[in-house]
Amino acid sequence: QTVVTQEPSFSVSPGGTITLTCGLNSGSVSTNYYPSWYQQTPGQAPRTLIYSTNTRSSGVPDRFSGSILGNKAALTITGAQAEDESDYYCVLYMGNYIWLFGGGTKLTVL
């Protein structure tokens, strides 16, 4: 069974830089998986941050960036702000119109 892996939790200091990753339990993530990233705060709908590996969605600050690092997709926040404290989810396109979410990363800014 294919599982998309994410760090369960992470913390960053205000103004700091952090990289969240999105991997596969078997195999490497490449651009062919069209990784996308979503931010969600409690009680709110998800917000699309990044799609197709590194394209920022409209209105997303440029401190958010996406890439492939090694064998994983990555979301980097450069200059984290208090309002970035949220849950972050990655999604991989598995082909044949099937998508898989990672389990999410809870980011604390303190």
Partner 1 sequence: QVQLVESGGGVVQPGGSLRLSCAASAIHPMDWVRQAPGKGLEWVAFIQSDGNIKSYAASVRGRFTISRDNSKNTLYLQMDSLRTEDAAVYYCAVGESYAFKYWGQGTLVTVSS
Find out whether 72 and 22 touch, Cβ atoms under 8 Å: yes
Contact flag: residue 82 with partner 1 (CB under 8 A): no
The span from the CA of 85 to the CA of 18, in Å, is 12
In the complex, the smallest distance separating the C-beta of residue 24 from partner 1, rounded to whole angstroms, is 16
Helix (H, G, I), strand (E, B) or coil at 83: helix
In the complex, the smallest distance separating the C-beta of residue 101 from partner 1, rounded to whole angstroms, is 5
Find out whether 77 and 11 touch, Cβ atoms under 8 Å: no
Among 38, 39, 74, 109, binds partner 1 (CB under 8 A): 38
Residues that bind partner 1 (CB under 8 A): 34, 36, 38, 40, 45-48, 51-52, 55, 57, 87, 89, 91, 93, 96-104
